Structure 1
Amino acid sequence: MKQYIVYTRVSTDDQGKSGLGLEAQQRDIDIYLEQYSVVPYEVIATFQDVLSGADDNRPELTKALALARKTGAELLVAKLDRLSRKVSFIAAIMDDKRVNLRVASMPHADKFQLHIYAALAEQERDFISARTKAALQSAKARGVKLGGLRDKTNERNKAAKAKADRFAASVLPLVQKLRDAGETLQAIADALNDAGKQSPRGGQWTATSVKRVIERA
């Protein structure tokens, strides 16, 4: 039987970005397992870090890699940058002969192709960073007050936080009631979905989104 170890990662900045959140990662992983994986298969473990992609000291990834070396199961991630945004870090993993890596969004890519993709992605990020700095310098030269732009961004962030707080407060009584009854986070998510209540992002509830509501409240 084919065995997988699933690894997901989000950082604070990634939480609300399309294609990077936990729900999106799980969607891509599910698509791979349902449409591309050999059968039968088994997911023997799932690990998750909430850390920046620039931080290579990730305890859950360390555990996932150790288990992959021990069992021979494939390490399955939704996107390559969920492992790291550093080519050197990704290359080290791919050079490890005891680790079999699979990227759900590139189901047929081999290690050579993944290495090239990682290098190109790093170049693109460096260029975007340089382009952003150049745009800010140009705006400053034209007399644009950059601090004013930051103030507007802060105002939008505060408004978004207030909206999220109000939403959490509106569903908290039901969530807390189910939690007090001993229900798991996933059972609470299922109950909210069955009741037709949308998650804060307008989609399906998951155990993670229920946990966030409880923590925010």
Structure 2
Amino acid sequence: MKQYITYIRVSTAEQGKSGLGLEAQTRDISLYLEQYSEVPYEIIGEFKDIQSGGDDDRPQLIEALALARKTGAELLVAKLDRLSRKVSFIATIMDDPKVKLRVASMPHADKFSLHIYAALAEQERDFISTRTKAALQAAKARGVKLGGMRDKTMKRNEAAKAKADRFAASVLPLVQKLRDAGETLQAIADALNDAGKQSPRGGQWTATSVKRVIARA
């Protein structure tokens, strides 16, 4: 029987509490297992870290790798950057003969493809960082007060949060009523769509957007 060890990670405590980042990763892993995995299969371990991908000293990842080496089960992650943002760390894992790695979002990728992808992703992050620093330096040279820019951004964020809170409060009674009746998040989303109510972004409701409203409340 095919065996897996799943590993998911978010960078901040806020993401961990909301469950949204973790929920998306769990969904992708489930999709891989349903559509691409050999059958029958079993998951012999599930691990979760709330820690930066730049930090390789993650206790749950260390345990997951140890179990993978001991059992020969495949280590399954939703995306490569959930494992690490460092090419060197990913390369070390892929070079470990006792660790089998599978990425749900790239179900057919081999070790070579994963290594190339990791290198390109790291290069892109370095370029974005350099570009951001250059833009800030150019703004400073023009006399722009960077602190003022942050203040304006904070005010916009606060206004957006207040608007989202008001919207959540307006639909919460119906959402809570359906939830208390035992309806699933998707069933609540379907009910809101049938009632002609738009989501916070003006589109169709999904299970995730319903969960966000509940969490915000």
Fold shared, TM-score > 0.5 on shorter chain: yes
Cα distance, 1:162–1:5 mapped onto 2, change above 3 Å? farther
SS of equivalent residue, structure 2 residue 129: helix
User: TM-score, normalising length from structure 2?
Assistant: 0.74
Paired residue type of 1:156: R
User: TM-score, normalising length from structure 1?
Assistant: 0.74
1:204 aligns with 2:207: yes
Aligned residues: 198
Cα distance, 1:138–1:204 mapped onto 2, change above 3 Å? same
The aligned residue for residue 123 of structure 1 is 123
In the alignment, the residues of structure 2 paired with residue 132 and residue 119 of structure 1 have an alpha-carbon distance, to the nearest angstrom, of 20
SS of equivalent residue, structure 1 residue 47: strand
1:35 Cα deviation from its structure 2 partner: 1.7
Paired residue type of 1:35: Q
1:50 Cα deviation from its structure 2 partner: 0.9
The aligned residue for residue 153 of structure 1 is 153
The aligned residue for residue 196 of structure 2 is none
1:162 Cα deviation from its structure 2 partner: 4.8
The aligned residue for residue 113 of structure 1 is 113
Cα distance, 1:5–1:127 mapped onto 2, change above 3 Å? same
1:77 aligns with 2:80: no
Q: Deviations along 1:139-161, whole A, 9 cap, x unmatched?
A: 22222222222112222333455
Paired residue type of 1:101: L
SS of equivalent residue, structure 2 residue 136: helix
1:78 Cα deviation from its structure 2 partner: 0.9
1:27 Cα deviation from its structure 2 partner: 2.5
1:192 Cα deviation from its structure 2 partner: 4.8
In the alignment, the residues of structure 2 paired with residue 152 and residue 67 of structure 1 have an alpha-carbon distance, to the nearest angstrom, of 48
SS of equivalent residue, structure 2 residue 54: coil
The aligned residue for residue 34 of structure 2 is 34
Paired residue type of 1:60: Q
| Percent of pairs with identical residues | 71
The aligned residue for residue 10 of structure 1 is 10
Would you say the 8 A contact 1:9–1:50 is kept in 2? yes
1:163 Cα deviation from its structure 2 partner: 5.8
1:34 Cα deviation from its structure 2 partner: 1.7
Would you say the 8 A contact 2:7–2:47 is kept in 1? yes
The aligned residue for residue 182 of structure 1 is none
Cα distance, 1:81–1:131 mapped onto 2, change above 3 Å? same
Paired residue type of 1:204: A
Cα distance, 1:119–1:161 mapped onto 2, change above 3 Å? same
Would you say the 8 A contact 1:14–1:21 is kept in 2? no
The aligned residue for residue 90 of structure 1 is 90
Paired residue type of 2:41: Y
Larger Rg: 2
SS of equivalent residue, structure 1 residue 8: strand
1:111 Cα deviation from its structure 2 partner: 1.3
In the alignment, the residues of structure 2 paired with residue 59 and residue 197 of structure 1 have an alpha-carbon distance, to the nearest angstrom, of 41
Would you say the 8 A contact 2:13–2:50 is kept in 1? no
SS of equivalent residue, structure 1 residue 105: coil
Would you say the 8 A contact 2:186–2:206 is kept in 1? no
Q: Deviations along 1:4-42, whole A, 9 cap, x unmatched?
A: 1111111129949xxx92232223212211221111112
SS of equivalent residue, structure 2 residue 123: helix
Paired residue type of 1:118: A
Paired residue type of 1:120: L
Cα distance, 1:124–1:99 mapped onto 2, change above 3 Å? same
